[in-house]
Structure formats: C-alpha cells, structure tokens
Amino acid sequence: MNILLATSEAVPFSKTGGLADVCGALPGQLAQLGHSPAVILPAYRQSWCCGQPIEELGIDFIVPIGSKTVTGHLLQSTMPGTDVPVYLVKQDQYYDRDGLYQADGKDYIDNCERFVFFSRAVLEAIRLLDLNVDLLHVNDWQTGLVPAYLKIEYRGIPRYENIASLLTIHNLAYQGQFWHWDMLLTGLDWKYFNWHQMEFHGYLNLLKTGLVFADSINTVSPRYAQEIQSPTLGCGLEGTLQQRRDVLSGILNGMDPSHWNPAGDPHLAADYDVDSYREGKAACKAALQEAVGLPQRPEVPVVGLIGRLCQQKGIELVVEVMKQWAPNRDVQWVVLGTGDAEYHKKLEDLVERYPQKVAVRLEFSGPLAHQIEAGADMFLMPSRYEPCGLNQMYSLAYGTVPVVRATGGLADTIVDAREETLVAGTANGFSFGEYSNLALAETLDRACQAYQDKEVWNQLVTTGMRQDWSWNRSARQYLALYARTIERMKQAAHV
C-alpha cells in the first residue's frame, strides 16, 4: 500500500505537540510492516535544525491563492533510521518564521492562506514527484482542505481518481476557523460555503471541511471518537461527526519503545525490566528525590505529574488535593511542566510551605521527564479531556502506576484496580469518572492504600509493564483502516 501522510508537523523536522510525534513515528512502523509511506510537510525555519540532510529537488510549482499565484519549491529528506521519504514544501514568505503557527502567543493573521497554500502543494506534489498514492492520510485542520480539493478539483484527473482520503483528528478543540472572506483564498466555489460543508456559524472552518469531504475519519482513541459526538466534547462539531459516525473510528497512538524503555534508558540511575523493577525503581526513586531536593525516604509514595499546567490537564484538581494533603499526608509530589501563570504561583506557594513534600520544576526537561517516570510510584493524569495521552503509556512501561480520569485515551488504556479486575488480572492503575477534587482525592487515597499492599502493588506494576502500547500495534490498526477506506472510496465511486 502506498500512503502519503500530509501533516503540518513531524518529528524531527518540526514540533509543537503530539501531532508531530504521531507523524514522526507512524511512517517508520508502516515501512517495517512492508508498505510504502511518504511524508509531506512545510519547510519551516526550525526544519533546518532537525539533524537530517535536506536536499533541493529543483522542482518548483505555482498554485492559485485567491486572485494571485504563489510559487513554492519541493525539498527532500528521510525519516531518521529509515528509508521513508520526506518531502518539504518551501515557501519562505509563509514558513520561514520563528514559530509554526504563532508569534508572541498570537496566531499569525495569514494562517488560513499559509495552509491553503500547503494543501494545494500536497496535491501538486503527487503529480510533480510522480507519486503512486493509494491513500492520502491528512491530519488536523491544517490539512482539512486536502480532501475537499481531492474530491472537487482533482477527482477526474488521472493519477488522482483512485486516491482515498483519511482525516485524523488529534484534538478537536483546534479547528482552523477564519472569517468568511478567507473562502476566497481557497479558490473553491461559494456554493460550498454552507452549514453542511465548510461554513460554521458564519466562519470558514477548515477542520469541518475535512470532516465532510474525507472518505474516513479517525481520532486518537476509541473513547474520544465517541466523546466528540456529544455536546460536552464535540466543540460545536458534534452534529457533523454524528452525521459521519459510520466512517468515524478511533485508534490509540503508540509509544516508541526505543525512546521509552527502562531497560536501556540513558537518563536513569539504574536500568530495569519487569523482572528487576524493585531494585531498579528503588535506585531511580532515590536519585529522583535527590535531584529535586526531597528527602530520600523509600517508604513514602512519590506522585509524579508531567505536562501542561492548564485546566485541560486537570491541574486545578491536583493543586487543591495537594493543598489538602500536604499538611498531614505522608506523600511526596514532583511536578514538571509549564502553563498558566496562576498555577505556577499556586505550585510555588506549596513548595515554599512544604519543601519536604513538594518539588516543582516550571520548565520542560526531557531527562527529568524520564527520571520522574522511573522514580515516581504513581503518575497523575486527571484530565478534563484527553484525546489519547502518552504519559500513562510511558508510566505503565516504567512500572509507575497511573491515576487518571476515565476520559478519551486514558479510559482506553487504564483499567481501574477493583476487586473484580484484580482477580481477572487486568487492573493496571486507578481511574475515576467525576471531574472533581473529591473524586481525585478518593482515587488517590485508594492508590496509596494499595501501595502499602506489596502483593497488590506488584500485580499492578507487572501487569502494566507487560502490556504492549507500541506503534507496531497501532500501525497494524491503521493499515486495516486504510484498507477499509480505500474499499469505501471505490464503492462510492461506483454508486
């Protein structure tokens, strides 16, 4: 199968979030399974710092943007450690900037134009590079126009007529919404600017466009695929998603075991696996406590948290529980991340009041993230919503028991430790449903009680460490989805 993956970012060429990790990891796994993937993305300023050689191809192209034409250039590289080709769309007026989408916290005012250009470039690249494509896998709002162009402008053209399209939603909250006059930039007929297709409350919505025109839609966990069809998490697009529910599915993201593996992690004080985790985690726990300035007390449970310090991640719940517990509960807390200023201040106040129990690093540090995953006993993810989540998978691999809210990918990966799940041998963590301080505190209390039962805790740790959350598993599910999408497109063409 020949797959062209179109994305606005992919590791190591560019990154702002999880989208880049997915689009950087999936193609290599598809290649290992015997298929022929390629990746296309913009050539940003940061792309030149990725460590991979980037070559000029000498291929220029011109596409219409509203009433003008804009010239671009195609470059080529490869995904690290693979033969997977990567094509980069060079247009310095659009992409030679410090940020991918923003400057000083504000979106670029020409973001619509930038990704209209990229979407058209994706389709032109197929012809110019003489690519044989069975399926176009597009990602998030930045490529939402690609399925529309494919169906409206390219469907009757040789080389394009048999290409199917799949749109993956990585986070529905980001939709690419622009004022209605930006419709002119797309070059598409105004007849498509209606509430069934491209219009959303008077605005042009590029994610909605992709949802309407793609042959298949998926998101990054089965639970999230269900949640986004409800008003609570549908972000206004629940009606569109309900209408397309027959082609909507969820596939969990995977983790990269070459990067997240306690048996060979260069950032850890000691390597370990499922058979040696007691000694290994004990050494890593002591090293973590020393690194963040907490007393080295092996008997005290260490609770870790890594991520954006914002409401989506449930940080307000965590702060309130920390306030309640820090005065009289023998628990240590280690927090790593950045986010909203009010939570920075609240966490700093807790460190000042309880330096023997609370350690906070308001930064992002890759090595420290690995050390927290290995050295903590429990890992907190009480998210308001979580399309997939990866830290709970890292925690399982490192023998650190997750405590999560049952939403999105967290619900699909963590089985709450109850009597029946412990007997069945499926429990691998703790979860709760209601988004409240009380629910988090009660669940964390259950986890702390289980921590004192060595037999139960050993079962939870070993169950999690033996599970497979790798990209190999996810890639096989994507291949099955690709095959269904191609078949669906062929059937629709014959109707």
- Give residue-wise pLDDT tens across range 357-381: 999 999 989 899 999 999 999 999 9
**Domains located in the chain, CATH noted:** 2-254+472-493 (3.40.50.2000), 277-468 (3.40.50.2000)
Residues 72 and 89: beta-carbon distance below 8 Å: yes
What confidence tens digit (pLDDT) does each residue in 299-312 have? 999 999 999 899 89
**Predicted confidence band at 258 (pLDDT cuts at 50, 70, 90)?**
confident
| pLDDT given for residue 495 in this prediction | 57
Mean pLDDT of 449-460: 98
* Phi, psi of 257, deg, nearest 5: -70, -15
What confidence tens digit (pLDDT) does each residue in 196-225 have? 999 999 999 999 999 999 999 999 999 999
Cα 422 to chain centroid distance, Å, stands at 30
Of 237, 116, 240, 103, nearest to 178 (Cα)? Answer: 116
Structure tokens at 465: 């460490």
Residues 319 and 347: beta-carbon distance below 8 Å: yes
| pLDDT given for residue 105 in this prediction | 84
**Predicted confidence band at 334 (pLDDT cuts at 50, 70, 90)?**
very high
CA atoms within 13 A on the CB side of 422: 14
What count of residues does the chain have? 495
Number of CB atoms found within 10 A of residue 127's CB: 14
What is d(CA 442, CA 79) in angstroms, rounded to the nearest whole number? 45
In percent, the amount of the chain with pLDDT more than 70 equals: 100
Mean pLDDT of 435-455: 97
Of 299, 287, 307, nearest to 332 (Cα)? Answer: 299
Mean pLDDT of all residues in the chain? 96
Is the overall model pTM greater than 0.85, yes or no? yes
| pLDDT given for residue 156 in this prediction | 86
| pLDDT given for residue 399 in this prediction | 98
